[in-house]
Each structure stands twice: as C-alpha cells, then as structure tokens.
Amino acid sequence: MRRTGSGRRGSARTWARRRRALPLLALLALPACGLLGGGRAPAVPVNPADDLRIRREVEARLAAEPSLRSGQLRAEVKGSTVSLYGNVVGLGALQCAMTNAGLVSGVTNVIDFMVLQNGPRDVRCLAPRTVRSASADSAAPTTATVPRP
C-alpha cells in the first residue's frame, strides 16, 4: 500500500510547488497595494486663484532681485508647488531664486528647472535670512553662498 504525498519525495514535491507559486502570489498581490493608497500623500486641491496670486508674488520677488537678470526667469504654479524655469548665472543666483520663491506665502514646494551658467558662487540676495520671521534683522539682505564640495 502506497500513500501519496507522504515521505521525503512527496514533501520535496510539495515544497517545489509552493516555491513556484510564491512569486505568482506576490505578483497578484502587488496591484492590491494601489488600492491601499500606494504610499502617496493625498492630493492637494488646486485653487486657481491661489496659484495666480502665488505666481505673481514669486515673479515680483524675482524681478526685484538685483542679482537675477530681469526677464530671464519664469514661474509656474500648480497646487502650491512653484516650478522655476530660465537661466541663472552662478550657484548663488540659483539659490537666491529658489529662496525667494519658497518665501512666498502658500508655497509648499519649489522645483528647479533652471539652466545654470558659469558665474559667481556668492551673490547679494534680498531674501530674508529666515522664513516668515518678524525680527528686524531677518529683513536684512543676505549673501547666498553655496558650500564647496
């Protein structure tokens, strides 16, 4: 009398089948992760009026900066995220533009799509030292510096 599935041979076959089925089960379970949110943050509701206000304020700040060439930078805003486009001369000017955009009320993220040209590492930037600070020394112009590698 012979029993199936018992003994060493049956046990080895069972494990072999399970090992083959495991990747298939993982592949089938992967799309279910998307139903759980996929690790993404909830979408920020887009308010066109806020985006327009933010864009105007960012462009006004960039135009007021003497270290940035007037008309060389363009800002786009979607859902409180500012994207900067254009040409800047030097790392200091790039950092100054990013800082100015980030200081506008309502901005949650600044994305750099700027083209960097050779230029000075340090520039005089009118952006305050700290974000939204009421102290008198925070309104003083700063020098934007980029650490050396």
Which CATH number does the domain housing residue 125 bear?
3.30.70
| pTM > 0.85 | no
Report CA-CA distances (Å) from 145 to 9, 58, 64, 84, 149.
71, 21, 19, 19, 12
The C-alpha angle with vertex 52 and arms to 49 and 54, in degrees rounded to 5, equals 110
Rounded-to-integer distance, Cα 62 and Cα 25, Å:
54
The verdict on residue 70 lying in a domain is yes
Q: Which domain holds residue 11?
A: 1-40
Q: Which of 86, 95, 107, 102 is nearest to 67 (CA)?
A: 95
pLDDT, one tens digit per residue, over 36-82 is 655 565 565 678 889 999 999 999 999 999 888 877 899 999 989 99
Radius of gyration of the chain (CA): 28
Please indicate, yes or no, whether residues 68 and 140 belong to a single structural domain of this protein: yes
- Report the greatest alpha carbon distance in the chain: 95
Question: Do 69 and 29 have their domain in common?
Answer: no
- Indicate if 17 and 57 belong to the same structural domain: no
